[in-house]
């Protein structure tokens, strides 16, 4: 299906129609941005059925026609595979913006910027926070690092799937913002687990206590996510994802040594406790 030409909106290329990327791409199309998509498997395009988009068999062909190239792939290595083996940068137009929505290392964002500079391509690292359910609701927080010129082009695109777009600084700052956000969330997990363990030993009813915590000054996303986003069915999977993110945080802050060791240890404990937390909260 081919999208209509829109003179006053940037043309968006998108790669990565997974758990997070699919609702983001859907929101971009629904907002009226001309959407161009490349996928390794044609079956992945089914998530865009009923929406206007243009699909490509050749990545280079898509790269040549877009103003913004958004990547929502799993790891930094996947980004560099697209860059170095698929020739993504070499086929993009000067002045275009390459956006990485994945969570990765700030040093990888800097390397991406270095690779893009000879081609005249801007880079924005823009990881998102909120998870799949929040992405579907188009209420993600997008944490962006990049120069002002690039941000002027992409902010309206980010707004199509975000409740808030925060420009936290230059390239790399978006990844730092996401990693610190994740670390605090995981530390909140262990806080909740320890508090509910005490409540259980007092034989307190957990359900009304949770209602108090979610409604009162103790409220946090880490607490309210149990049920809508974190359940006994996915807790083990989310634990592994959080541990991956914590490894990234540890690598990004390794030069600080003991200054960050307490944060790392507590956040890892919070991630490890997710399955037990779902049992305590009845989710």
Among 149, 170, 191, which residue terminates a domain?
170
Q: Is residue 6 part of a domain?
A: no
Given 114, 148, 170, the domain boundary residue is: 170
Q: Which domain holds residue 36?
A: 12-170
Overall average pLDDT of the 29-44 stretch: 95
Instruction: Please check whether residues 99 and 210 belong to one and the same domain.
Output: no
pLDDT tens, residue by residue, 68-120? 999 999 999 999 999 988 889 999 999 999 999 999 999 999 999 999 999 99
Name the band, by pLDDT with cuts 50, 70 and 90, for residue 6. Answer: very low
The domain that holds 118 is classified in CATH as: 3.40.50.720
The residue among 269, 78, 65, 81 whose CA lies nearest residue 185 is 269
CA-to-CA distance for 57 and 40, rounded, in angstroms? 8
Looking at the structure, tell me whether residues 267 and 163 fall in a common domain: no
Q: How confident is the model at residue 62 (pLDDT cuts 50, 70, 90)?
A: very high
Residue 186 lies in a domain: yes
Based on the structure, what is the number of domains in the chain? 2
My answer on whether 39 and 91 are in the same domain is yes
Q: How far apart are the first and last CA of the chain?
A: 41
- Domain shared by 164 and 24, yes or no: yes
Residues 148 and 229 in one domain: no
Model pTM score: 0.91
Poorest-pLDDT segment among 64-78, 143-157, 167-181, 214-228: 214-228
Residue 7 covered by a domain: no
pLDDT of res. 3: 40
104 within some domain: yes
Residues 196 and 127 in one domain: no
Domain co-membership, 139 together with 182? no
pLDDT in tens, 213-252: 999 999 998 888 887 788 899 999 999 999 999 999 999 9
Assess whether 192 and 269 both reside in one domain: yes
3-state secondary structure 56-69: ECCHHHHHCCCCEE
Q: What is the pLDDT of residue 17?
A: 96
Do 19 and 146 share a structural domain? yes
Residues 166 and 216 in one domain: no
Beta bridge partners of 70: 14, 99
pLDDT band for 31, please (50, 70, 90 cuts): very high
């Amino acid at each position: 299906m081919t999208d209509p030409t829109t003179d006053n909106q940037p043309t968006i290329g998108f790669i990565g129609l997974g758990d997070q990327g699919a609702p983001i791409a859907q929101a971009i199309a629904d907002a009226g941005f001309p959407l161009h998509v490349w996928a390794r498997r044609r079956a992945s395009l089914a998530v865009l059925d009923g929406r206007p988009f243009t699909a490509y068999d050749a990545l280079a062909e898509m790269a040549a026609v877009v103003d913004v190239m958004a990547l929502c792939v799993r790891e930094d290595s996947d980004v560099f595979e697209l860059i170095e083996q698929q020739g993504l940068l070499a086929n993009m137009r000067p002045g275009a913006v390459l956006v990485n929505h994945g969570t990765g290392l700030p040093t990888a964002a800097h390397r991406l910027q270095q690779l893009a500079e000879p081609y005249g391509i801007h880079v924005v690292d823009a990881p998102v926070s909120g998870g799949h359910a929040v992405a579907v609701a188009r209420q993600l927080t997008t944490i962006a690092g990049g120069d002002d010129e690039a941000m002027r082009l992409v902010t309206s695109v980010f707004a199509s799937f975000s409740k808030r777009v925060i420009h936290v600084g230059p390239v790399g700052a978006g990844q730092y913002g996401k990693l610190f956000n994740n670390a605090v969330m995981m530390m909140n997990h262990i806080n909740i687990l320890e508090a509910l363990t005490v409540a259980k030993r007092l034989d307190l009813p957990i359900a009304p206590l949770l209602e108090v915590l979610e409604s009162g000054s103790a409220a946090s996303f880490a607490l309210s996510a149990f049920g809508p986003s974190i359940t006994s069915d996915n807790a083990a999977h989310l634990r592994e994802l959080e541990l991956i993110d914590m490894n990234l945080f540890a690598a990004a802050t390794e030069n600080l040594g003991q200054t960050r060791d307490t944060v790392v240890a507590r956040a890892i404990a919070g991630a490890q406790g997710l399955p037990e937390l779902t049992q305590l909260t009845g989710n």
